[in-house]
Chains A and B, each alone.
Chain A
Amino acid sequence: MFEKIAQKNWWKIIGVLLVAYTIVAGFLLPVPRLPILNETIRNLYYHVPAWFAMIFLMTVSLYASIRYLLDSHSQWDLLAYEASRTGIIFSVFGLITGMVWANYTWGTPWTNDPKLNGVAVALLFYAAYFLLRQGVSDEQKKARLSAVYNIFAYAMLILFVMILPRQTSSLHPGNGGNPGFNKYDLDSNMRLVFYPAVFGWILIAIWIMSIRIRLQNVIDANEK
């Protein structure tokens, strides 16, 4: 489906260069001097893009699942599966880095913040997705069932991570009734690093996902 572009190198190099740039600029460019946060505000360049990459991959997975239900092409099922798998890896990055950060700024690795608990619940929905896939042996039945469930899991992810934390108060910026990043949360210097970081990490996440898909396709071709 995307074999041609998956073999190309230019977009992988862009991803690597963007992330390398954020490693340099993320430490050198000035940041707002805020109490409690101090230098840890720079974590924004590394912690938040992991979540953006995760949400992006889950959206890819949702799209692939819908496409599978429309035309039953097994490649869409593989894309849905591998996108959500790689998305889980990035959510683990986001969770662990968030816990380290929270430990030094909020005083504890796990607060009962609605965003944290929401992510925990959403990840359980995705755990059920992988269990569902393991439980059905018939390939087409598995693909169809898990595609339907994946749409539900994505709805739960958005509900618990994007919507519910905004209805209540949350320690995360941009929650508790406020829109996302606004001028108070992110100054223009930080945008210079933050947006390339998001874009770069999304490209690297796609790269890792594409490697897994290609590997699975080689294995399948060998078995035939």
Chain B
Amino acid sequence: MRVIVTMCSILLFAINTYAQTPNETEMADVMRSNGKIYVVITVLLVIFATLAAYLFSIDRRIKKLEDKV
């Protein structure tokens, strides 16, 4: 019984330390935790969607020219 308790406590301790290991590598965790990263993604998506729409409009123009020829 004592062995099991000791083992469990060691295991619990191990999990605890694993969870609390400080991440030495700096990452943009703040941006991700407060949600501001979505702003960046939205801006990039708007730019990309506009470029894609522009490409589609060029595509449609050329299709009209092709139909004429």
Contacts and interface: CB of A to CB of B under 8 A. Distances in A.
A211 B63 CA distance: 10
Interface string B36-65: 010011001100110010011011001101
A108 interface: no
A28 B37 contact: yes
Given A23-B41, A24-B45, A208-B55, A218 B27 contact: no
Q: Do most interface residues of chain B lie in helix, strand or loop, or is the interface mixed?
A: helix
Contacts of A9: 56, 59
A39 B26 CA distance: 8
Contacts, number: 56
A38 B25 contact: yes
A212 B63 CA distance: 12
Contact of A12 (B26, B27, B56, B66): B56
Given A207-B55, A222-B69, A33 B45 contact: no
A178 interface: no
B5 interface: no
A214 B62 contact: yes
Interface residues of A, number: 26
> Counting chain A CB atoms within 10 Å of each CB, which of B28, B40, B65 scores highest?
B65
A54 B58 CA distance: 22
Interface in A1-59: 3, 7, 9, 12, 16, 19-20, 23-24, 27-28, 33-35, 38-39
A34 B23 CA distance: 10
> Counting chain B CB atoms within 10 Å of each CB, which of A3, A9, A27, A38 scores highest?
A27
Interface of B: 23-28, 32, 37, 40-41, 44-45, 48-49, 52, 55-56, 58-59, 62-63, 65-66, 69
